[in-house]
Amino acid sequence: MCIIDYIKRMKKKYLTPNIFLRFQLRNFKLPRFFLRSYKVTILPAFDAGFFSLFNNYVSHLVYAEPNEIIIPDWRLKNIKLETKIEWMHGKIISFCYGNHKDGNVFYKLFENPYPKIKNKIFYETNMMYHFADKILFATNYNQDKEPNLTALNSYNLYADNQYFPIFRNKYNNIVKKYIHLRPEIQNQIDSFFDKQLKGYFVVSAFIRCKGHALELKEKSPDIELWDKKLKEVLESNKIDINSNDWRFFIATDNDNAIEYFTNLYPNNVVYQNMTRLSKEQEEEYESVKNSLGHNTYGYELQHRKAADYSQYTLKNAIEVIFDVYTAALADTLIYTNSNMSTAASYLNPELKMIYCK
């Protein structure tokens, strides 16, 4: 290598980033005392479902030190491929909740948890890493402090009658303090609830597609079991199933559930308008599962969307937020093991929860 090429390489490696950083700092109008007074921790995103990321972030907020601020980095370009399946494919297989142009997706959906950091340069560039005192491992679910937060471990969380109510209230206190939806999204949820659900006894349910069976210990509930649980809830609350006194909010990713319940209770069923898995897609999963002899990965709605970059949109995130936040407003939630169920449990710690098994 000649000396000229060596100098060019050194300039590119060392000089350019420093110039860019100095330019950023010069335009970064943040009170200096604020960052000096706090420990800055960065929590990068990873390739997973939306509420997997959400619960992970809230959990770290719950256990943050008194002087610690935790910054979520949900930029698509920084999504980490952590699982064996991702390594095999060499691409994202779950995170479809925004594209590269959307930047840090978290701040497109939620208000800034730390209003004193007002300049978006901090969130939309790697500047946050220059200020960081600590960078967390992307898939660190606080296993040491919250070992049952996610995946199959959450069965233990739901079954712990002593700790689960404490968990729900503890996490709810943090959400009320730090996590606030952007006004346009919150208004959409409030308007829907006021028009469709307010004044009724509301039962909600997370009816996931058959592909969700990979996250369940037991057999995925048949649609008839959901109906049985619904009837039990209404009966225990002395609600006549033939009356107009109740509403059933279905948060689902498949058309089968919508068709089944709207045929049974056409005047009582409520749901958001969105693209869902078709009957044909559900049958495709069943066919593959039967041929392999076991449940297989990649057939949930988020996986199908993640396979096509043109479907990476904030709309996907807003839809799943809408379902979980609305379901949490119900009187009773019928649920299975899911990060959506976990989130709903602490978004409304007074929500009665009935496991569908």
Query: What's the rounded mean pLDDT across residues 234-244?
Result: 98
d(CA 196, CA 39) in angstroms, rounded, equals 44
Say how far residue 170 (Cα) sits from the centre of its chain.
19
SS3 239: coil
Q: For residue 116, what pLDDT band results from cuts at 50, 70 and 90?
A: confident
* CB contact at 8 A, 340 and 251: yes
Give yes or no for a contact between 239 and 231, defined as CB atoms under 8 angstroms apart.
Answer: no
CATH number for the domain formed by residue range(s) 182-355: 3.40.50.11350
Assess contact for 317 and 109: CB atoms under 8 A: yes
Residue-wise pLDDT for 178-219, tens only, equals 999 999 999 999 999 999 999 999 999 999 998 898 888 888
Of the given ranges (33-37, 129-133, 159-163), which has the lowest mean pLDDT?
Answer: 33-37
pLDDT of residue 92 exceeding 60, the answer is yes
Assigned token pair, 226: 């959901």
Task: Identify the band that residue 27 occupies on the pLDDT scale cut at 50, 70 and 90.
Answer: low
Q: What is the pLDDT of residue 316?
A: 98
Judged against a pLDDT cut of 60, whether residue 134 lies above it is answered with yes
Task: Check residue 18 and give its pLDDT.
Answer: 53
Q: pTM here? A: 0.90
The pLDDT-based confidence of 127 (bands split at 50, 70, 90) is confident
Q: Helix, strand or coil for residue 132? A: coil
List Cβ neighbours of 160 (8 Å cut-off, separation of 6 or more): 148
Query: What is the per-residue pLDDT across 318-345, written as a single tens digit (0 to 9) for each?
Result: 999 999 999 999 999 999 999 999 999 9
Type of residue numbered 356: C
Strand 201-207 relative to strand 332-335: parallel, antiparallel, unpaired?
parallel
pLDDT of residue 184: 98
Q: Is the pLDDT of residue 16 over 50?
A: no
In the structure encoding, which two tokens stand for residue 172, read together?
A: 């709810």
182, 318 Cβ separation under 8 angstroms = no
Reading the block at residue 252, the tokens are 């689902």
Cβ–Cβ < 8 Å for 344, 351? yes
Residue among 206, 205, 207, 209 at smallest CA distance from 299: 209
Q: Looking at this protein, which amino acid is placed at residue 196? A: Q
- The predicted-structure confidence for 213-224, as pLDDT tens digits, reads as follows 888 888 889 999
CA dihedral sign of residues 177, 181, 184, 188: negative
Tokens coding 269: 């069923």
Q: What is the DSSP letter of 14?
A: I
pLDDT for the residue 8 = 46
